[in-house]
Amino acid sequence: MRIHILGICGTFMGGLALLARALGHEVSGSDANVYPPMSTQLEEQGIHLQEGFDPAQMQPTPDCVVIGNALSRGNPAVEYVLNSGLTYTSGPQWLAEHVLRDRWVLAVAGTHGKTTTASLLAWILEANGLAPGFLIGGVPDNFSVSARLGETPFFVVEADEYDTAFFDKRSKFIHYHPRTLILNNLEFDHADIFPDLEAIKLQFQYLLRTVPGEGLIISNQAEPALQEVLARGCWTPVEHFSVQEPDQTQADWQVAAKSEDDRCFDVRFQQQPQGRVRWPLMGRHNVANALAAIAAARHAGVPAGLAAESLSGFKGIKRRMEVRGQVGGVIVYDDFAHHPTAIASTLQGLRAHVGDEPIIAILELRSNTMRMGVHQNTLVPALQQADEILICQPAGVNGNRAAILNDAGDSVTLFSDTEDIIRACLRLAHEQAGETLHILVMSNGAFENIHSRLLAALADAEMKE
């Protein structure tokens, strides 16, 4: 079968392309504004990628067109598909029909941490001989690809609450029918498609209805919104996890003897010690991700002690606190965080790891929710662990500058141009000469390749000194 994917460079659709090719289909695709790591991954896998949405790209006529949720009516490729009567479907629907059917699906849902938790879970299963398939919204370094079919019935999928397609406004995860479901957290996000948190809760209620009674739901006890959703109707056993101190929670899964930077901690299940995690990740949020992954792996048959031990071999994920390079005493990180809660958690983890060493936080206001100004009053408080805060507010962002800067102090500067941000970093690096400086870049997009440009500018400045 010849399949053409519209929006192929999205993290989900790019992974879908790999799965379709592994099933023996001829795969091509088109997209706009492509950037790594997905574009690089597709090229490495030999999948033909074309820029733009010219209908001529769909010649010869494909047997099926898979349409990504970023595309809408009025797009020339979409209009051509409809006018020509071509067979089309959504990515989640294609995945459900061609990959997930008859599989043991382990799904990871929540506002934050889906990519990391799904990657941890896939690695635990892999390290313990279960050779799972997976589709993850990032590229785990342990696998070097974002998706594969696997060799067993187990399949790990990142379960996104975003809508499926312009013709199917249900959340993507409604299609997946998981046997094991992780609920990491639940906050308001995706303001471009959800009017409020209640609308997202409703989609999570629908998700719960798809989990069989013989399955398992693993839920974060510290999340009130999740507790509300579960209380509205749940027909599946639930295990709760929590990173609070053991004397502060009754959760089934707990942590103890946690190091200050969260790189070492003990795991308990129903008050019984299970094992110790020693790993390279940092931050309280990642401890929660690990607990959820260990619990899900146990449901699939991996003893918790072995799962905890396996995490020492986890190598991280591209664009999740990824060290992009170091020039002299300046270390540049890349992170996908774009919601205030995720931003605060990421910075908390970095601060605990580096102590008093200076941190520059660079944030691009790129997501649809940020561009609508929904988080403008909570962004600066989320960034307070940094010593200097540089916020890129491109043209077209609706957030009010005064609201963003309200009570921010002198540590926050707004920019409209990335070149100005790079110059500011060079100045700050020069002022901090002689001590280690950490520059954390946060965006859910390419951010005009600021990481490489910044590293090159730092190297050039060092050579001139």
Tens-place pLDDT, residues 226-278: 999 999 999 999 999 999 888 778 999 999 988 888 889 999 999 999 999 99
Single-letter amino acid, residue 351: R
The pLDDT tens digits for 21-44 are 999 999 999 998 766 667 777 888
Pairing of strands 104-109, 180-183: parallel
Residue 175 pLDDT: 98
Who's near 125: CB < 8 A, 6+ residues apart? Answer: 131, 132, 154, 156, 297, 300, 302
162: how many CB neighbours lie within 10 A of its CB? 18
| Residue-range domain boundaries for the chain | 2-90, 102-313, 322-464
Q: Where are the beta strands (DSSP E) in 32-176?
A: 48-51, 64-67, 88-90, 104-109, 133-135, 147-148, 154-159, 163-165, 168-171
Alpha-carbon distance values, 68 to 29, 35, 91 (Å): 11, 17, 6
Give the residue among 333, 348, 220, 356 at the shortest CA–CA distance from 284.
348
Residue 190 pLDDT: 66
What angle do the packed helices 284-299 and 340-354 form, to 10 degrees? 110
Residue 338 pLDDT: 66
Give the residue among 31, 26, 24, 86 at the shortest CA–CA distance from 12.
31
Collapsing DSSP states into helix, strand and coil, what is residue 404?
helix
Domain 2-90: assigned CATH number: 3.40.50.720
Q: Among 55-64, 367-376, 414-423, 450-459, which stretch is predicted with the lowest mean pLDDT?
A: 367-376
Residue 44 pLDDT: 82
Q: pLDDT band at 137, cuts 50/70/90? A: confident
Report the C-alpha gap between 19 and 8 in whole angstroms.
12
Residue 397 pLDDT: 54
Q: What are phi and psi of 446, to 5 degrees?
A: -75, -25
DSSP labels for 137-185? Answer: SS-BTTTSSSEE--SSSEEEEEE--SEEETTEEEEGGGGT--SEEEE--
Token pair recorded at residue 404: 């963003």
pTM score, whole prediction = 0.83
Give the residue among 356, 327, 339 at the shortest CA–CA distance from 451.
327
Residue 355, CA atoms < 13 Å, CB-side half-sphere: 3
Residue 194 pLDDT: 84
Report the C-alpha gap between 289 and 382 in whole angstroms.
20
Burial of 320 (0-12, 13-18, 19+ CB in 10 A): buried
Q: pLDDT band at 373, cuts 50/70/90? A: low
Report the C-alpha gap between 92 and 139 in whole angstroms.
19
Q: Among 65-79, 182-196, 402-416, which stretch is predicted with the lowest mean pLDDT?
A: 402-416
Single-letter amino acid, residue 15: G
What percent of the chain is predicted at pLDDT more than 70? 92
- How high does pLDDT run on average in the chain? 89
Single-letter amino acid, residue 358: P
Alpha-carbon distance values, 100 to 45, 153, 366 (Å): 22, 9, 32
427: how many CB neighbours lie within 10 A of its CB? 11
Q: pLDDT band at 67, cuts 50/70/90? A: very high
Give the residue among 224, 172, 231, 234 at the shortest CA–CA distance from 203.
172
What percent of the chain is predicted at pLDDT more than 90? 59
The pLDDT tens digits for 169-191 are 999 999 999 999 999 999 877 67
Report the C-alpha gap between 16 and 292 in whole angstroms.
25
Report the C-alpha gap between 265 and 287 in whole angstroms.
8
Alpha-carbon distance values, 41 to 17, 38, 287, 318 (Å): 10, 5, 29, 12
Residue 350 pLDDT: 87
Q: pLDDT band at 403, cuts 50/70/90? A: low
DSSP labels for 201-242? Answer: HHHHHHHHTTS-TTSEEEEETT-HHHHHHHHT---S-EEEE-
Contact call for residues 326 and 405 (beta carbons, < 8 A) = no
Collapsing DSSP states into helix, strand and coil, what is residue 89?
strand
Task: Give the residue, 64 or 379, on which the prediction is more confident.
Answer: 64
Burial of 373 (0-12, 13-18, 19+ CB in 10 A): middle
CATH 3.90.190.20 for domain 322-464: yes
Q: pLDDT band at 431, cuts 50/70/90? A: confident
Q: pLDDT band at 392, cuts 50/70/90? A: confident
Report the C-alpha gap between 430 and 462 in whole angstroms.
10
Residue 407 pLDDT > 80: no
The pLDDT tens digits for 86-121 are 999 999 999 999 999 999 999 999 988 899 999 999
Residue 95 pLDDT: 98
Residue 459 pLDDT: 87
**Fold annotation for 102-313:** UDP-N-acetylmuramoyl-L-alanine:D-glutamate ligase (3.40.1190)
Who's near 306: CB < 8 A, 6+ residues apart? Answer: 128, 275
